[in-house]
Structure 1
């Protein structure tokens, strides 16, 4: 009887162990299947992400190229606009009179202040007043378009004399170039900025040389490149001089 009970216990134990193992194996198999499915899903997601990354990279390239084209178009438009003003100057301080004829008044004042003789109907292509700043009663400035650059230079070369007479002569610069001059001037690596012949320049503090800037240039990058190039030229010159000596 005791052996029979013992035998039954052992049989039951073996059956339980077998059942547990089967259950565990089935769960392991089920879990492995799920893991395999998840791994496939992850791989598929990776492929999708890579495709999306490629698409995003392609779109970024397209946007960069498009922005470069837009910048070139804006630079060209600004340059053309500035070139169209090449023979222009703005004059502040000219007293305004009702019914004035600026083709007569302006040459007369310029002649009196500087000795430069102008024919208001030949040397001047166009002349008129500009609106004054909003909310002010100041004298409206005058914009003048001369017949050619030689005539313009006669006036601008004598602007120090005109200034003494209360007439202030400046270039007719586009708003884009004025903004660029302000950006260049704001750099702590630039002593001052100026406009000349449709271009904007700045004087580099380190090299004491002028640097030309474009409308969409990174100011710091341009200065860094200029400084590096100046150093290379200087080192080359010193090396050549040492060899000669």
Structure 2
């Protein structure tokens, strides 16, 4: 059978019409849309999984850095506290003009605490500014001794300063001082104490060392 040019043109026309009908059919369009959506969804899932993996890795790195930072902070704080282990702070001693600070404190130690020290025992004795200066309270006194045993002896006798208006405390780092104040707020002053730079509290009837705020049970007020 011989096909003429006219027959070929007719065939092309019919094929073209059939293709157009197929393309324009609802079923074909639905399949095309579904195929495109599946491809888009797969790309989205792949990208989402990649982002999720990146976030998980970043979170792990953040936790690792936080752990290292906490360990470093504890180490630095412990070193700083060790450097303060020969120190005491004295509060409530009224300031006098042209005062001989050491002589005044020396007299208090002898008369009130039965502890005798001389200038050789002391390396540092001066007042330090604090927030108390602004509300009328006298600046605290920082003392550093040559021997840690002198400090320990004084701290053991500090109860004898009761009712004198003068108090004696350990010289804590900023971190430990803040922790001490939180513990006092939550547990009460009678249930919190310091020993050699460490903070302790009476919790559930037991003496426990407090190293972080998470160690302190938070009191709940009446609802």
CA contact (8 A) 2:170 2:197 kept: no
Shift of 1:72: 1.6
The higher-RCO structure (CA 8 Å, 6+ apart) is 2
CA contact (8 A) 1:192 1:203 kept: yes
Asked if residue 127 in structure 1 is aligned to residue 128 in structure 2, the reply is: no
What's the RMSD between the two structures over aligned residues? 2.8
The runs of 5 or more residues in structure 2 that have no matched partner are 1-17, 218-223
Distance 2:168 2:127 in 1: 14
The runs of 5 or more residues in structure 1 that have no matched partner are 1-18, 221-245
TM-score by length of 2: 0.77
Deviations 1:91-145 (A, max 9, x none): 123232222232332212211212211012x111101012252433322221111
Aligned pair in 2 of structure 1 residues 39, 219: CA closer, same or farther (>3 Å)? farther
Alignment of 1:19-30 (within 5 A): 26-30=25-29
The aligned residue for residue 14 of structure 2 is: none
Shift of 1:74: 1.6
Aligned pair in 2 of structure 1 residues 103, 184: CA closer, same or farther (>3 Å)? closer
The DSSP-based 3-state class of the residue aligned with 1:89 is: strand
Aligned pair in 2 of structure 1 residues 216, 62: CA closer, same or farther (>3 Å)? farther
Asked if residue 215 in structure 1 is aligned to residue 209 in structure 2, the reply is: no
Aligned length: 198
Aligned pair in 2 of structure 1 residues 77, 144: CA closer, same or farther (>3 Å)? same
TM-score by length of 1: 0.71
Aligned pair in 2 of structure 1 residues 45, 26: CA closer, same or farther (>3 Å)? same
The aligned residue for residue 98 of structure 1 is: 97
